[in-house]
Amino acid sequence: MKTVTIKLTAPLQSYGNEANFDRRTSYDYPSKSAVIGLVAAALGYSRRDTRIKRLNQLAYAVRVDQPAKPMTDFQIVEWKRNRRKLTYRDYLQDAVFMVALGSEDDAFIDQIDWAIRHPHFQLALGRRANVPAGPIITSIGLEENPVQVLQNISWQASQFYMRKIKQATFVAELIADAWLLPDYPSSMVKDTVVSFDQRHRQYGFRAVAVERVSLDNLYFTAKDTEHDIMSYL
175 assigned to some structural domain: yes
pLDDT of 77 reads 76
Average pLDDT over residues 55-73: 95
The boundaries of the domain holding residue 194 are 2-16+25-68+92-219
149 assigned to some structural domain: yes
Instruction: List pLDDT tens digits, range 170-214.
Output: 999 999 999 999 999 999 999 998 888 878 888 899 999 999 999
pLDDT of 143 reads 86
Average pLDDT over residues 46-58: 93
164 assigned to some structural domain: yes
pLDDT of 164 reads 93
- Comparing CA positions, the residue from 109, 106, 136 lying closest to residue 10 is 136
- Comparing CA positions, the residue from 42, 18, 15 lying closest to residue 138 is 42
- As a whole number of angstroms, the distance between CA 117 and CA 156 comes to 19
Work out the pLDDT band at 39, boundaries 50, 70, 90.
very high
User: Would you tell me how many other CB atoms lie within 10 Å of the CB of residue 157?
Assistant: 24
- Comparing CA positions, the residue from 90, 7, 99, 93 lying closest to residue 62 is 99
**Average pLDDT over the chain, rounded to whole?**
91
Read off the DSSP letter of residue 25.
-
- As a whole number of angstroms, the distance between CA 113 and CA 138 comes to 7
pLDDT of 45 reads 95
pLDDT of 232 reads 60
pLDDT of 21 over the 90 cut:
no
The amino acid that residue 115 corresponds to is A
Burial class (CB in 10 A: 0-12, 13-18, 19+), 17: middle
Work out the pLDDT band at 230, boundaries 50, 70, 90.
low
Average pLDDT over residues 142-161: 95
- Range from 17-21, 37-41, 77-81, 96-100 carrying the lowest mean pLDDT: 17-21
**Count of all residues that appear for the chain in the document:** 233
- The CATH number linked to 159 is 3.30.70.2660
Beta strands in 81-185 (DSSP E): 83-103, 137-141, 169-177
pLDDT of 18 reads 66
Instruction: List pLDDT tens digits, range 120-131.
Output: 999 999 988 899
The domain tally of the chain equals 1
Q: Looking at the whole model, is its pTM more than 0.75? A: yes
pLDDT of 102 over the 70 cut:
yes
pLDDT of 33 over the 70 cut:
yes
11 assigned to some structural domain: yes
